Chains A and B, each alone.
Chain A
């Protein structure tokens, strides 16, 4: 038992989990959030902070690609958990129970460190074939043999991602070819490199035709909203950001931290098979928790989430009135949320208050109509001119319906009123 093992074991006691929510599976996301929080584990905000990549549902091809890219950006020691669409709480509990032991495995940590370093050494890595995962190594607990519907595959991750570092020199050419082909394959998604980096800050992807170091595109220059020439950065926001709707990507042009134009889409919309809709009371609390979290108020956000989970379990909502009072009395919160709007006079403070009123109505047993949710196409256009934080607050408060986006045409087609 060497020092590294002892330290790894100690550190693995509280893993940081990066949760990837899959559109159409809000229930699974909430289950996962609850179980993680119950253990006192923090949710990672970025791949850099994460020890564990947890994919809550079976991702479609587009989201799957994003997940691969996220995984490449997570430093060792790391573990990846892929839940199938039908993962049960018991399965999830078992996986989470085993997590600390797996993170503390010295040999695994070393392999992961080598795999992660190989990726960051070679900028233009090929896309890993997802099928490689889980086929190698010591998977005594290979549960996906139990049947493909309860597909619950655990990737302990290893060098299968990217190539081992000792294959230098002559394989580099092969990588390039692979890369170009790969790029051509998804060129029809129309948005160039943005597809690849799930975490909006990453520029992991390589453009062959760009002369700059690392193959990155140079920022354009254009006039900003005040008429000054300023760099323009093309960037996808999402699909994996803290407190962000599952699978939502907003392709933005960013000048400084001001969005000059934006276009919203949901990944894998063609393959979306919506699960049972979330009860209105649960969703309202979920939205409130998100708005508070994005507004940088973690304590009350966590309490709102607790209430959400109680509402899901059908438990009494202890502490609801306390939370409502706290949120409504906060003058600083109101100052921060006021006048953050689409220009229709309804600001985030007002949207939050509407949700709070709806939550009160649910608690009192009154029936409440469905809130208006923005059409996806409209969402993008209306974010133009917003600052980064304002856009984040608006998306959280408006709660675009990514889970019910059953048809690619838009998000409004779902019948309102279901509970």
Chain B
């Protein structure tokens, strides 16, 4: 137990490094200035060191406590969300309500980003915070319908039960619309491109615009940890968890998680920022009905199979 407890954060940090390196490489390619793999691998380390030796910074009449509460809870929420993801056969904590737990942790990020945006007493920082709350309202409903569809097909909220139910058929085949909605919301919950309006360049970095030094490092790190947790959760929910030929379960989980991360990074550089004043409409008029219909279809399949 204790070994796994340490293993989870270590794995997540490794995944964040992989994510950052891949992001740097794809950013260079998209900008027409390709970066070599070695340079791409070093740059995240350099960025980390830079922020570690850099000075922290405070603004006038800032609320340091709230800012710290935001930064810390972003990281804690990401790690706790990942705690219910099976790394091989078993997760760190096999909760009977794993799906709900994951969802609850992910919503903690709303408060976290809002607090980080509020804390420094800066207008652009606050605009970033506002944007994330609006974003949450847009992505959350399709997201909840998507994850609940997976639970519905397995007849359980326990993540390991959901993985077991995919021994024959991965849920991505049974519920492709839910999977797509989940992938989009995974990017949105970590305010990762194309849903990066809360930290966008037009607001000079939005919610994180006033952070320097270790504050900035932890905020940026927490955001990537959250993306890693969301990508890892796609594996047990839709991609068959550890199921797969030849390789052991943990290797499949790692491979599939990496594959989801690659898709998310690719998507980020493929698309411009999607703003919520436009996306909310699509989300509520297209994605919500789509995921509801998806849930209905899956429910009928479950009934036809004689489940429930």
Q: For the complex, is B49 an interface residue (Cβ under 8 Å from A)?
A: yes
Spot the interface stretch: B100-108, B175-183, B211-219: B211-219
How long is the Cα–Cα vector from A241 to B131 in the complex, in angstroms?
A: 18
Known contacts A13-B46, A14-B46, A75-B212, A203 near B57 by CB under 8 Å: no
State whether B272 touches A203 (Cβ < 8 A).
Answer: no
Hey, which chain B residues are within 8 Å of A392, CB to CB?
202
CB of A22, distance to nearest CB on chain B (Å): 19
Count class of interface residues, chain A: 35 or more
Q: In the complex, how many angstroms separate the beta carbon of B222 from the nearest chain A beta carbon?
A: 17
Question: How far does the alpha carbon of A204 sit from the alpha carbon of B205 in the complex, in Å?
Answer: 18
Chain B residue nearest to A303 in the complex (CB): B32
A42-50, A128-136, A157-165, A361-369: which lies at the B interface?
Answer: A42-50
New A-B contacts (8) at CB < 8 Å, excluding given A203-B61, A296-B193, A296-B196: A11-B49, A75-B57, A120-B59, A201-B204, A215-B60, A257-B130, A294-B201, A392-B202
Is A298 touching B204 in the complex (CB atoms < 8 A)? no
Among A7, A202, A333, the residue within 8 A (CB) of B122 is: A202
Least CB separation from A293: chain B residue: B201
Q: Which residues of B, 230-256, contact A by the 8 Å Cβ criterion?
A: none
Whether, in the assembled complex, B291 has its beta carbon less than 8 Å from a beta carbon of chain A, the answer is no
CB within 8 Å of A: which of B173-230? Answer: 193-194, 196-197, 200-205, 209-213, 216
- In contact, B203 and A388 (Cβ under 8 angstroms): yes
7 contacts between A and B (CB under 8 A): A48-B57, A48-B211, A49-B216, A75-B54, A242-B202, A294-B202, A336-B272
**B19 interface residue per 8 A CB criterion:** no
User: Which residues from A are CB-within-8-Å of B212?
Assistant: 48-49, 75
Q: Tell me which residues across on chain A come within 8 A of B43, comparing CB atoms.
A: 14
Q: A13-B46, A48-B209, A319-B32 are in contact. Are A241 and B61 (CB under 8 A)?
A: no
Are A298 and B30 within 8 A (Cβ)? Answer: yes
Chain A nearest CB, measured from B250 CB (Å)? 33
Residue of A nearest to B31 (CB): A302
* Chain B residues, Cβ within 8 Å of A330: 271-272
A274 at the interface (CB under 8 A from B): no
Contact of A212 with B61 at beta-carbon distance under 8 Å, contacts A45-B201, A297-B272 already known: yes
A191 at the interface (CB under 8 A from B): no
B170 to A: closest C-beta gap in Å: 28
B214 to chain A, nearest CB (A): 11
Chain B contact patch, size range: 35 or more
Give the interface centre of A206, A256, A298, A330 by most chain B CB atoms within 10 Å.
Answer: A298
A377-399 CB contacts (< 8 Å) to partner B: 387-389, 392-393
User: CB within 8 A of B194: which of A256, A296, A387?
Assistant: A296
B269 at interface, CB cutoff 8 A: yes
- Asked whether B52 lies within 8 Å of A254 as measured between CB atoms, the reply is no
A10 surroundings in chain B (CB, below 8 A): 46, 49
> Which residue in A40, A75, A336 is a CB contact (below 8 Å) of B213?
A75
Chain B: which residue is nearest A205 at the CB level? B60
Contact B123 A214 (CB under 8 A): no
User: Which partner residue on chain B sits nearest A254 by CB separation?
Assistant: B123
CB distance from B283 to the nearest CB of A (A): 13
Tell whether A7 pairs with B124 under 8 Å between CB atoms, given A46-B204, A48-B209, A257-B130: no
Q: How far, in whole Å, are A51 and B46 apart by their CA atoms in the complex?
A: 14
Q: Which of A120, A296, A319 counts the most B-chain CB atoms under 10 A from its CB? A: A296
Cβ of A243 within 8 Å of any chain B Cβ, yes or no, is yes
Nearest CB to that of A327 among chain B residues? B272
Q: B-contacting residues of A (Cβ < 8 Å)? A: 4, 7-8, 10-11, 13-14, 37, 40, 45-46, 48-49, 51, 73, 75-77, 109, 112-113, 116-117, 120, 123, 199-206, 212-216, 233, 235, 241-243, 254, 256-257, 292-300, 302-303, 306, 319, 330, 332-333, 335-336, 387-389, 392-393
B contact residues around A388 at 8 Å (CB): 127, 202-203
Chain A: which residue is nearest B48 at the CB level? A11
Once the chains bind, are A299 and B209 in contact (CB under 8 Å)? no
Which residue of B is nearest A13, CB measured?
A: B46
Q: How far is B213's CA from A120's CA once the two chains are assembled, in angstroms?
A: 15
How far does the Cβ of B288 sit from chain A's closest Cβ, in whole Å?
18
Shortest CB-to-CB span from B192 to chain A, Å, is 12
> Closest A-chain residue to B201, C-beta based?
A242
Q: Which 3 A-B pairs have the closest CB atoms?
A: A296-B273, A299-B30, A214-B61
Contacts of B127 in A (CB 8 A): 257, 388
Question: Among A48, A297, A389, which residue has its beta carbon within 8 angstroms of that of B205?
Answer: A48
- Give Cα A308–Cα B123 distance, bound, in whole angstroms: 33
Are the CB atoms of A242 and B213 closer together than 8 Å? no
Q: How far is the CA of A243 from the CA of B204 in the complex (A)?
A: 10
Q: Which residues of chain A come closer than 8 Å to B274, judged between CB atoms?
A: 332, 336
Find out whether the CB atom of A256 lies under 8 angstroms from the CB atom of B130.
yes
Interface residues of B in 257-308 (CB under 8 A from A): 269, 271-275, 277-278
Query: CA A335 – CA B277 in complex, angstroms?
Result: 11
- In the bound complex, do residue A201 and residue B124 qualify as a contact, i.e. CB atoms below 8 Å apart? yes
CA distance A294 to B210 in the complex (A): 19
A302 with B194: in contact, given A48-B211, A203-B121, A296-B200 (CB under 8 Å)? no
Bound CA span A403–B45, Å: 40
Chain A residues whose CB sits within 8 angstroms of the CB of B135 once the complex forms: none
The residue on B at minimum CB distance from A11 is B50
Which chain B positions have C-beta within 8 A of A4?
Answer: 53
Q: A331 to nearest B CB, angstroms? A: 10
Chain B residue at minimal CB-CB distance from A234: B123
> Which of B33, B210, B273 interacts with A336 by CB under 8 Å?
B273
> Is A336 touching B278 in the complex (CB atoms < 8 A)?
yes
Contacts of B46 in A (CB 8 A): 10-11, 13-14
The answer to whether B61 touches A213, judged by C-beta atoms less than 8 angstroms apart, is yes
Give Cα A201 to B207, complex, Å. 11
Contact of A113 among B30, B55, B203, B278 (CB under 8 A): B55
